[in-house]
Amino acid sequence: MVQDDVLRIRRSRVKLAPWLLLTVVVAAAFVRYFVPGGVGAKIVGIGGAVFFGWAAVKLLIALVVPHDVLVIGPEGIYQRAVRPYVLIPWREIADIGVIERSDRVRTVGVIVRNRSQFPNHGPLGRLLSRRWVPWLLKLLLGVSVVLYAGGGGVGDAIKTLGADMSAHATFEISTLAFPMSTEELVEFLHARWRKVIGPPRHRPRNRHH
């Protein structure tokens, strides 16, 4: 709901609950099926358990203590999902769009004109910028898809391994458990952005005499 020209978005508890259950089950599956194995299996198992265990803790906190993860107002987009929180002024934005991470995962990408004016996303942001991290995430997600869907999830797991996990925007906002779809949110942000900066400028066509 928009109040006083400000939209505050919280994650839906109803939509969060299944994701919390899924992350707990997948974390337990990594411990059960991979940790008892050899060195390679142990690394994958521990990595998967830590990754999905951390995700489960974050989802549990969001479920028990909901808070505004995104505030959209006259000044800009206030990102409050991960620290450091940052306000992105409308006039500093160069583009807003949908980023497709897989067939089912879409996020909001915000590109700013001058990245140096904004803080880095702390230790987690620096970690995710390393080249090997996207490959590890794809491996963990691919294995989790197979664990969740069984043999029928092999095709989706292969697509996950081939997905592009590199950064496509200055800020990438997850819409997990949002009350609206990613496309609806991007459309709303575009309308607010254009209201501030005006319509796109078109170059005049060359006239031949």
- Report yes or no on 60 lying in a domain: yes
Q: What is the pLDDT of residue 98?
A: 92
Q: Of all residues in the chain, what percent are helix, strand and coil, respectively (each to 5)? A: 50, 20, 30
- Report yes or no on 27 lying in a domain: yes
pLDDT per position as a tens digit, 194-207 = 999 887 665 445 44
Q: What is the pLDDT of residue 96?
A: 95
Q: What is the pLDDT of residue 123?
A: 45
**Cα distances (angstroms) measured from residue 150 to each of 23, 30, 101, 142, 146:** 16, 14, 21, 11, 5
- Report yes or no on 43 lying in a domain: yes
- Per-residue pLDDT band for 89 (boundaries 50, 70, 90) equals very high
Q: How far apart are the first and last CA of the chain?
A: 54
- Report yes or no on 22 lying in a domain: yes
- Report yes or no on 58 lying in a domain: yes
Q: What is the pLDDT of residue 132?
A: 58
- Report yes or no on 104 lying in a domain: no
Using CA atoms, how far apart are residues 59 and 80, in angstroms rounded to an integer? 15
- Report yes or no on 97 lying in a domain: no
Number of domains the chain is built from: 1
Q: SS3 letters for 45-80?
A: HHHHHHHHHHHHHHHHHHHHCCCCCEEEECCEEEEC
Q: What is the pLDDT of residue 209?
A: 40
Q: What is the pLDDT of residue 116?
A: 83
Q: What is the pLDDT of residue 159?
A: 66
- Report yes or no on 179 lying in a domain: no
DSSP-derived 3-state class of residue 29 = helix
Q: Output the average pLDDT for the chain.
A: 80
pLDDT per position as a tens digit, 38-79 = 888 888 889 889 988 998 999 999 999 999 999 999 999 999
Q: Write the CB contacts of 143 (distance below 8 Å, at least 6 apart in sequence).
A: 30, 34, 44, 48, 157
Q: What is the pLDDT of residue 161?
A: 60
pLDDT per position as a tens digit, 73-86 = 999 999 998 878 89
Query: What is the extent of the structural domain holding 49?
Result: 1-67
Residue 5, Cβ neighbours under 10 Å: how many?
Answer: 9
Using CA atoms, how far apart are residues 156 and 133, in angstroms rounded to an integer? 20
